[in-house]
Structure formats: C-alpha cells, structure tokens
C-alpha cells in the first residue's frame, strides 16, 4: 500500500466530505433516548442517521449497499454492506454509533453542543468524536484500499442509535440482522479512548455500568426548616449516610460487592501504559484549583480507572435553584448514580446487591429506594493473534511514527460484551480518537481530525492484512 497515496486520499475525502457532513451532524441535537424521552416525535435521531447514511454513495465504494434498519418505536441502525474486493476472504464487522449525550454546561465562548467550530485540527461540538466520525472512518478505510486496487474482506458497518442509553435495543437488531452479520472474523470498534494523540491505541478492557436513581423521602411536602429542624431528619443527610455504604466518603473505597481480583497481566500492562503516558495520566483532565487525584502513582490511577469500581453522582433533584432556595426542609432528595464496575464483574447481580445495600435499615426508617435503570456488563479483550499484533504495531509506526500501545478504559460499550459472547473466536480491535481533553460527554468535546485520519489509515492496513489471515 502506497502510504503517500493513502494520506492524500484521506486528506481529500475528509476535507471535502467527512468534515462538512460532521459539521451538519453536530448541529442536530440527536440526544440518546435516555436524554430525550420524546425522541421519536422530535425526529432528531432519525435525521442524524439519515444524514450519515445519505453520504455513503459519495465515498464511491464499489458494491456498497446501505439502508436504515428500523423497528417500531426504536431508533434505526445504519447498515452498510460492502462485498469483498478482489480475491479476498474474510468477514469484518465495523461498529459505531450516532446518538449523543446531552448538552452539559461550560462550553468555551463561541462554542456549544450543537455549534460546530473548527480550530485547526480540532472540530468542537457534541458527537463529532463520540461517535459521528466512525462511519466516515470505516468507509474511508475501505476506500483507501479500493483507490489502490488492493483486495479487502467483506465488511458490514453497523452504526447504532442507543449506545449512550446502554444499547438496550442492540440485541434485537443483532438478531434481526443475524444473516447479514454472519460469523465475523474481525471486529473493528471505533468508539474507544486514546491515551494520547501520538500513536494507535488498542483498548484491552472496558468497565461495566450500573445506572440508577436513589430516592430518599422523609415528608409528604416541604416544611419550615426552623420549625422542623431537629425533629425531622434531612433527606440529604440520610442520602449521604446510605451512600457511605456504597462509597466511603473519606477514602473513596467502594463496597466489596463491586470489586474483583486484578489479574497480574493487567497490572503489567498498566505499568507499560504508565511508562508511555507518565504524568499525562493526570494532566489530561481540567483540574480546578489545587485538586489532585487519589494517588500520585500513574500505574495505580490507570488500574483504578479500568479495573476498580467508581461512583459518579450525575444528577440531583428535589432541590430548588440557589436563587429560589427558601428556608424550607425539603421532603426528598433524588440522586442519579452512575457506577462503573470492573470488566469481569456480573453487573446485573451487582446491581441487585447495591439495591439491597442502599435500601436496608434506613436511618430513622426513612423511605429509601434505589431504582435500577441499567446494568450493563464490562468486557475484556482476548489476546491478539501474532499477525494482528504485528500488523497494528507496524501500522502505528507507519501512520503515527510510534509503536502501538494498549490501555484499559474506564468507559462502557455494551456492544463489545454482546459480540464477545456471541463470537468468542473473533479478532477484535477496539480503538478511537477520544484522547486528552477531547471531553466526550462534557463541555468542549472535540474531534481531533488528524488523529481520526491516522486511525483510519491503521484500520485500512488491518483490513489489507486480514485477507491473508482470516476466513
């Protein structure tokens, strides 16, 4: 494969097609169903899916067919089927998603979740890096090969619309599309993180997630805080109390029911990753004031982020805004909890343990309830075959000028566990562009365009070599 020709192809296609379309895509507030209960009536998810699908033909991929696979009351899946090119064998499944997280606050002046802003190689706006770029990366990785008349395997591209809501309808679509999916030899997931922008990163594990709502009720209605104080307990205090059962508020230590034994091989990999990233493990976050991480050891931080549980309180209800907060003892406190679990933990069983832990023997017999909204398992990658490892390393050297690196990630991609369970022998590359400060899910999310092109080039090389080793 001619590297210079490949770079020129990607520069031209992304500048003329991918980036302008991604700018239009960012303008669509295509929030995942968990964040837009009226998604069907609003039509944004379908509009985003149709926009991305409508650009497939412009890539000029020989034999490509595409459609939206709909189901009643469910966001559609974009399905793009590309037959094998030349005398090639193998079956490749490529994955991404088009649904987005909600707006969040704190965007830079002039930027916003639905306002695409280009600053050099960075494209700001919700969904560009997580994960609108994926369909363009998948298609252009195929196009690079066809442009040079190089054989590639048959490829099926699936871009779903509920990943940010836990991919709740993906099993249904996997069953619906079973004949088209077939038995994949290789999976390429383009929704993962990157430790930096200097090399290709392969994700080796993902944590699971448990999402639920903790509700603490002490009254039927709010009352005068002076008249009730000292007699009626604070719902917020009780919430703090029961949360301490889940997470020690001083040490941050999580309950034993959420912990697993970390394998020695994982510790060894974390040490290699820490040696590569150094203080970048810490500096990738926008720290406020003198805030510091739980440890100064990058190895421990990587393990804590990838193989240990953690809690984030992502929502709060039951309190008025600061400018309208009167001297009233509130009747209830509601907290949205996002609990990340180790890759090998049974998330469904752990969710039930958490429910029992939080609800039992409430202080002062307050009404405490934990409603589970989602319990998605994590995933651990199997070892790469020799050819796969050598291919990714050589591709990283060619496109980035640095060796391949591996990392365990703290996020969750339910599709990875689904596919690993159905197709345990499938070779897997989980990679992505979400490097330092890209801030997916938060304000000022951006897509690093140069990194997206380089990741695409590496995927192209993987498809080229797959024809010799799979099928």
In whole angstroms, give the CA distance from residue 275 to residue 269. Answer: 10
For residues 451 and 447, what is the distance between their CA atoms, to the nearest angstrom?
8
Query: What pLDDT, on a 0 to 100 scale, did the predictor assign at position 40?
Result: 96
162 with 151, same domain: the answer is: yes
Q: Can you say how many angstroms the Cα of residue 289 is from the centroid of all Cα atoms in its chain? A: 28
Instruction: Retrieve residue 156's tokens.
Output: 């099926």
Which DSSP state fits 34? Answer: G
Sequence-distant (6+) residues with CB within 8 A of 371 are 212, 213, 215
390-417 CB burial, b ≥16 within 10 A, e <16: ebbbebbebbbeeebbbbbbbbbbbbbb
Domain boundary among 376, 405, 438: 376
Verify that 152 and 300 share a domain, yes or no: no
First to last CA, the chain: 21
| pLDDT tier for residue 71 given thresholds of 50, 70 and 90 | confident
Identify whether 247 is preceded by a cis peptide bond (ω within 30 of 0): no
| φ and ψ of 189, to 5 deg | -105, 125
Tell me the percentage of the chain whose pLDDT exceeds 90.
Answer: 98
Average pLDDT on 179-185 reads 96
Q: Is the pLDDT of residue 425 over 80?
A: yes
In a domain, 401, yes or no: yes
Contact 94, 156 (CB under 8 A): yes
pLDDT tens for 87-139 read 899 999 999 999 999 999 999 999 999 999 999 999 999 999 999 999 999 99
Asked if the model's pLDDT at residue 258 lies above 80, the reply is yes
Last residue of a domain, one of 344, 376, 408: 376
Which secondary structure element, helix H or strand E, spans residue 446, and what is its range? Answer: strand 446-448
Place of tokens 């984030």: 312
How far apart are alpha carbons 46 and 278 in whole angstroms? Answer: 42
User: Residue 447's domain is classified under what CATH number?
Assistant: 3.40.630.10
Q: What percent of the chain has pLDDT over 70?
A: 100
Q: Which of 360, 376, 392 is the last residue of a domain?
A: 376
On whether the CB atoms of residues 225 and 202 are closer than 8 A, the answer is: no
* Residue 129 CB-half CA count within 13 A: 32
Classify strands 154-160 and 91-97 as parallel, antiparallel or unpaired: parallel
Find where tokens 């690993």 sit: 420
Give the pLDDT confidence score for residue 338 in this predicted structure.
97
pLDDT band at 471 (very low <50, low <70, confident <90, very high): confident
Interatomic CA distance for residues 400 and 196, integer angstroms: 11
Residues 356 and 251 in one domain: yes
pLDDT band of residue 343 (cuts 50, 70, 90) is very high
Taking the C-alpha atoms of residue 115 and residue 126, their distance in angstroms, rounded to an integer, is: 8
Q: Which SS3 state, helix, strand or coil, does residue 275 take? A: helix
**How far apart are alpha carbons 349 and 150 in whole angstroms?**
48
Quote the mean pLDDT of the chain.
Answer: 96
Judged by DSSP in three states, 317 sits in strand
Confidence label for 205 from pLDDT (cuts 50, 70 and 90): very high
Give the model's pLDDT for residue 72. 87
Q: Are residues 121 and 249 in the same domain?
A: no
Q: Render pLDDT for 233-252 as a digit per residue (tens, 0 to 9).
A: 999 999 999 999 999 999 99
Radius of gyration of the chain (CA): 23
Residue 68: the pLDDT is: 97
Q: Where residue 340 sits, what CATH number does that domain have?
A: 3.30.70.360
Query: Both 196 and 304 in a single domain?
Result: no
Please tell me the predicted confidence (pLDDT) of residue 323. 92
Q: How many domains does the chain have?
A: 2
| 174 DSSP 8-state letter | H
* Contact (CB, 8 A) for 182 and 89: no
Helices (H), 278-426: 280-283, 298-306, 347-359, 386-400, 414-422
pTM: 0.94
pLDDT reported for residue 470: 87
Give the sign of the dihedral formed by CA 280, CA 286, CA 290, CA 294: negative
Q: Are residues 300 and 398 in the same domain?
A: no
47 and 179 in a common domain: yes
Residues 318, 384 within the same domain: no
Distance CA 9, CA 143 (A): 8
- Answer yes or no: is 288 within a domain: no
Domain span at 118: 3-206+379-466
Give the pLDDT of residue 70.
87
Distance CA(389)–CA(393), nearest Å, equals 6
Tell whether 10 and 105 lie within a shared domain: yes
Q: Which of these, 214, 244, 232, lies nearest to 368 by C-alpha position?
A: 214
**356 plus 311 within the same structural domain:** yes
């Amino acid at each position: 494969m001619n590297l210079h020709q490949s770079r020129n192809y990607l520069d031209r296609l992304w500048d003329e097609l991918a980036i302008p379309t991604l700018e239009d895509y960012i303008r669509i507030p295509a929030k995942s169903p968990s964040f837009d209960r009226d998604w069907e009536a609003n039509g944004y998810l379908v509009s985003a899916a149709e926009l991305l699908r409508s650009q497939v033909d412009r890539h000029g991929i020989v034999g490509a067919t595409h459609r939206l696979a709909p189901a009643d009351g469910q966001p559609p899946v974009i399905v793009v089927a590309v037959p094998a090119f030349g005398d090639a064998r193998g079956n490749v499944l490529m994955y991404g998603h088009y649904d987005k997280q909600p707006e969040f606050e704190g965007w830079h002046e002039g930027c916003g979740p639905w306002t695409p802003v280009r600053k050099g190689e960075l494209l700001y706006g919700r969904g560009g890096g997580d994960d609108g770029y994926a369909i363009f990366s998948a298609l252009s990785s195929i196009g690079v090969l066809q442009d040079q008349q190089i054989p590639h395997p048959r490829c099926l591209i699936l871009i779903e619309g509920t990943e940010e809501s836990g991919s709740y309808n993906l099993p249904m679509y996997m069953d619906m599309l079973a004949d088209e999916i077939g038995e994949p030899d290789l999976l390429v997931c383009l929704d993962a993180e990157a430790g930096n922008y200097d090399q290709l990163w392969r994700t080796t594990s993902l944590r699971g997630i448990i999402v639920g709502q903790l509700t603490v009720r002490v009254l039927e209605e709010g009352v005068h805080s002076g008249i009730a104080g000292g007699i009626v307990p604070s719902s917020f205090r009780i919430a703090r109390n029961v949360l301490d059962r889940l997470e020690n508020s001083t040490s941050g230590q999580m309950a034993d029911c959420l912990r697993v034994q970390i394998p020695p091989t994982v510790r060894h990999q974390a040490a290699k990753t820490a040696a590569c990233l150094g203080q970048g493990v810490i500096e990738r976050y926008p720290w406020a004031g003198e805030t510091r991480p739980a440890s100064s050891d990058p190895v421990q931080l990587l393990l804590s982020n990838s193989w240990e549980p953690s809690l984030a309180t992502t929502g709060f209800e039951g309190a008025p805004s600061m400018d309208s907060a009167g001297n009233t003892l509130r009747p209830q406190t509601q907290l949205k909890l996002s609990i990340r679990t180790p890759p090998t933990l049974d998330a469904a069983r752990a969710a039930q343990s958490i429910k029992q832990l939080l609800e039992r023997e409430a202080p002062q017999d307050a009404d405490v309830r934990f409603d589970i909204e989602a319990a998605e398992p994590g995933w651990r990658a199997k070892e790469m075959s020799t050819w796969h490892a050598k291919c990714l390393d050589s591709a990283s050297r060619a496109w980035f000028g640095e060796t391949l690196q591996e990392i365990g990630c703290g996020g969750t991609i339910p599709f990875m566990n689904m596919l690993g369970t159905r197709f345990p022998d499938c070779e897997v590359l989980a990679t992505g562009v979400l490097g330092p400060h890209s801030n997916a899910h938060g304000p000022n999310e951006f897509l690093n365009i140069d990194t997206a092109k380089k990741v695409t080039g590496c995927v192209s090389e993987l498809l080229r070599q797959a024809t010799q080793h799979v099928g």
